[in-house]
Chain A
Amino acid sequence: MKNVLEWLEATSERLPNKTAIADEVSSLTFAELKEHAQAYGTYLADKVAPRQAVAFYLEKSPEVLAAMFGTVYAGGFYSVIDTRHPASRVQAICETLQPALVIADEEHAERAHELFDESPWELVMLEDARAQATDAQALAAVRAQAQDIDPLYAIFTSGSTGTPKGVLVSHRSVLDFVPAFDAAVGITEDDIHGNQAPFDYDASVKDVYSSIRCGSTVQIIPRSYFVKPTQLMDYLADHECTTLVWAVGAMSFVSVMNAFDYRVPTTVNKVLFSGEVMPPKLLRYWMKSLPDARYVNLYGPTETTCNCTYFVVDRPYTDDEQIPIGRPFDNERIILLDEQDHEVTEPMARGEICVAGSTLTMGYLGDAERTAAAYMLNPANPRWPETIYRTGDIGYRNEAGELMYVSRKDNQIKHLGQRIELGDIEAAALRLDGVSQACCIYDTRRGKLRLFYAGDIEKDDLVERLHELLPPYMIPNTTRRLEQMPLTSSGKIDRKGLAEFRRRRAK
């Protein structure tokens, strides 16, 4: 196999009339998904050269998935842009992506015109990006030149210098990861995925590609249901969802909103979670309502294609215990490197978690420097060139050989399930006139982003301007002006000192 479309084609042959993907208002069978994808592909093949990008500026739907696969039929790769991003961030993403086309939907048409009409990127509406008839010959020509090392999608994530990083992922990595994932967690044709992850997050890759590979159904949950607990529970139960590939944050929605007191979706038999450390209390809440489900802790950054390790939860964990991140998926290897870049093998000894395998992604699009800093030759293997990805996460193996997560090496944090570089927020603040110093810390106890700055700008003006530069989840919860920043003895901003600052109401 060398192309993910072979999965779609085989499944549409085997299960043509089974529902592949549905949302509240529409659905596509596997045969329809393939036909629509080929119609988009025929249109796009004229506009997109092989290995060029197509950007999607819209909300996910069955038809959008068909257009994403249409990009792949055209030999290109897709990237879905979060429509909540401010204009400056959308532009930064497009400059990196250099898309041949931007595809938008009706709902976001007005904003898309504002963003792209004066830009170098051509905008086309979803309903216009489809040919009347499929040109099988043109699509076959595209496929004939395709390789498994071609890019399939790009996912943008926060970068410490203020420019988002585009993680580029090849067919090869997805072809390698998805079967290993399906086998480890037990996904079959009978499954119905209650899809939570937006398509600009790689958690959705697990729903979408398991579906076209196994013949399972993806049932898209409307985003707004994550603040409407009764509708969310009714939706999961009424659609008989079996599989939740969810962010830990989404699972905490259910708990905070006491949704299981209203209704338990008893068809759910697999809960596969990732994104941040799972608090044992939250997992116990789920296990109490859905005691027979299989719970799997998934670990790994986007750069390793979704996840690199997994742990099938074997029992309830107490609050002072930690749930392991487990063992690598089939065909992946974890190497722990100490501060001198020597491999750590003994139990309980800590090291940076590094990953080797075909699931290593291609690097950061258009950014050789940051790629070289994270994707490097394994320093513990001088005998042949073996690329590893350095996650920046510190971990160790316990006595049972299971991998345990400890902490980050740097200032990357997880806030509301989103991966954020604190430097990204600081860089945005420092771009504004009237800010001379900025330091953002994460108050882990309360789960709040706290920005401290020095300069002439009024606090309210600063916060208002930040909204033009950062997506909503990166806006600091509190902002405080200081006469000057506390410094460490080496002259750097004292992050620990700031973390201990008691917040007083600025009134």
Chain B
Amino acid sequence: MDEITLDDIIEVLEDVREDIDYEQEKKLIDDGILDSFDILSIISALNEEFDITIPAKDIVPENFNSAEAMLAMVQRLVEED
């Protein structure tokens, strides 16, 4: 697979909620911008899109507060796979 980019992550995120500026927002969880349903949808979408399984211990706010944080987590999980 080609290297996963920030755009790839944002594309997935925009299919869940398109009314958020993912390039600017850095506290998606801490500021309550994403609710629990959004987070569930995002986890499902990331798992499906990148063929990974995000483990329970990685489901913490730090990994979901920004598109960059999600990118870092996804890249790590793809490598570990």
Contacts and interface: CB of A to CB of B under 8 A. Distances in A.
Interface residues of A, number: 33
A253 B40 CA distance: 7
Contacts of A261: 55-56
B5 interface: no
Interface stretch (A21-29, A126-134, A475-483): A475-483
Contacts of B55: 258, 261-262
B53 A258 contact: yes
B66 to A, nearest CB: 16
A229 interface: yes
A186 interface: no
A258 B44 CA distance: 11
Given A230-B56, A258-B53, A261-B55, A477 B43 contact: no
A229 B35 CA distance: 15
A477 B56 contact: no
B78 interface: no
A441 to B, nearest CB: 15
Interface in A470-494: 472-473, 475, 477-479
Interface in B1-35: 11, 14-19, 29, 35
A228 interface: yes
A416 B19 CA distance: 19
A478 B57 contact: no
A447 interface: yes
B18 A257 contact: no
A416 B56 contact: no
Contacts of A446: 15
A390 B16 CA distance: 34
A262 B37 contact: no
B59 A416 contact: no
A472 B35 contact: yes
Contact of B44 (A256, A467, A475, A505): A256
Given A227-B59, A261-B56, A256 B40 contact: yes
Interface of B: 11, 14-19, 29, 35-37, 39-41, 43-44, 47, 53-57, 59-60
Given A229-B59, A257-B59, A416-B40, 12 more contacts: A84-B35, A226-B36, A233-B56, A252-B40, A253-B36, A256-B40, A416-B37, A416-B41, A472-B37, A477-B17, A478-B15, A505-B11
